[in-house]
Chains A and B, each alone.
Chain A
Amino acid sequence: MKSSVHIIGYEFELEKYASFSPQTQRRLAQNREAARKSRLRKKAYVQQLETSRLKLVQLEQELVRARQQVSHLIKYTTQPNGAGIGTFEMEYAHWVEEQHKQVAELRRALQAHVGDVELRMLVENGLNHYANLFRMKADAAKADVFYLISGKWRTSVERFFLWIGGFRPSELLNVLLPQLEPLTDQQHAEVCTLRQSCQQVEDALSQGIERLQQTLSQSMALDQSIGGSYRVQMAAAIEKLEGLESFANQADHLRGQTLHHMARILTTRQAARGLLALGEYFERLRALSSLWAARPREPT
């Protein structure tokens, strides 16, 4: 048995020990003490490692939790007024659905030759619906103006015709007019004046945006990487980009005003026909976008 051998060995050691000189005995005692201390230090070290490892696991878990919290915060609180881009896309999808319903209503009402009172109501609804869209877009512009003016939220063909985040107001008049004939001479004159004013405002806004592009590009082309001038350059550029929101809002203001004045110049029936024409036009553009995406192509 090991223990009896150990005891025998120990006794043997004891006997041997007793025969050693005092100096040797002292040295041996010192060696034993050193070995004991060494074992204790090793034990303490290992214990420290264990504690550290546990601490590390704990920290790792905390980090994972903190990361989750941050990503949650970013997802739900970066748009302070609640109108994030996700919200906008959802609201716009509903807007398009509602638009579709209103267009169908207008078609039915005009075919059934309903009275002016009912038509007036449908026209008001239609104009309000566009006003709602412009309000939604104003909120979206605050959240992400580049998203808005890129037209990412519109179908491909609509995007092709895009002017500052939406349809071109002067183009709108071109779409409407053929549908509204015959107009009285008075109406004709008023529409021509409106068309000219609309074009002038459109041109002014276009020139403003072009200037923004040019001046921004010029300022970005300068190498101001030395010292504090980089910060100044970037701060000035940010201020410029903030001006984009104004352009997006004014473009929508122009669209709304154009619709409003058209409705004012036209009779109720003409206005209803105009809104129907406009609604159908956009439906066709959207349909074209879908057909284009689904068109048969040569296998590559």
Chain B
Amino acid sequence: MEKVMGLASENGLVIFSKSSCCMCYAVNMLFQGIGVKPVMYDIDQDPEGREMEKALMKLGGAAAAGPVPAVFIGGKFMGSTNEIMSAHLSGQLVQMLKPFHHSMS
């Protein structure tokens, strides 16, 4: 868990993913489509991947489809695909990302 939170606080926008996960890729594409570039961290490439996966499952709760994608904005856990999609359609996502914009979309 410490590693997860550590990485999350080091970077403004982090998506924990797995190299084989195409939904993680989709979420990454969404962020890039709106003008930000998230840090993609593949937990399956990390020696502590198992523990990280457990920690992410705990954060995601029972409703999550899986441990990844797990999105952190400003060090805070935002949720998975479902939450990010909802936030974007409601306009909240763009607001939250304002400090991290490197280009206007």
Contacts and interface: CB of A to CB of B under 8 A. Distances in A.
Interface of A: 193-194, 197-198, 200-201, 203-205, 207-209, 211-212, 215, 236, 239-240, 243, 245-247, 249-250, 253-254, 257-258, 261
Interface in B1-55: 20-23, 25-27, 29-30, 33-34
A197 B27 contact: no
B25 A208 contact: yes
Interface stretch (B70-78, B79-87, B96-104): B79-87
A240 B26 contact: no
Given A208-B29, A215-B20, A240-B20, 17 more contacts: A194-B89, A197-B88, A200-B33, A200-B34, A203-B29, A203-B30, A204-B29, A207-B25, A212-B22, A239-B20, A246-B23, A246-B65, A246-B81, A247-B23, A253-B82, A257-B86, A258-B89
Contacts of A254: 85, 89
Most buried by B among A197, A240, A257: A197
Nearest to B66: A246
Nearest to B81: A250
Contacts of A194: 89
Given A236-B20, A249-B65, A250-B81, A201 B89 contact: yes
A288 B78 CA distance: 44
A261 B22 contact: no
Contacts of B29: 203-204, 207-208
Contacts of A246: 23, 65-66, 81
Contacts of A212: 22
B89 A261 contact: yes
B20 A257 contact: no
Contacts of A201: 30, 85, 88-89
A211 B22 contact: yes
A194 B33 CA distance: 15
6 contacts: A200-B33, A200-B88, A204-B30, A215-B22, A246-B81, A253-B82
Contacts of A211: 22, 25-26
B23 A250 contact: yes
A210 B5 CA distance: 32
A204 B105 CA distance: 14
B26 A208 contact: yes
A257 B91 CA distance: 12
B30 A200 contact: yes
A240 B34 contact: no
A258 B89 CA distance: 7
B83 to A, nearest CB: 10
A205 B82 CA distance: 12
A245 B65 CA distance: 10
Contacts of B33: 200, 203-204
A215 B27 CA distance: 17
B100 to A, nearest CB: 16
Contacts of B22: 208-209, 211-212, 215, 240, 243, 247
A138 to B, nearest CB: 11
A188 B82 CA distance: 26
A296 to B, nearest CB: 45
A199 B33 CA distance: 10
A258 B27 CA distance: 18
Nearest to A206: B26
A254 B34 CA distance: 17
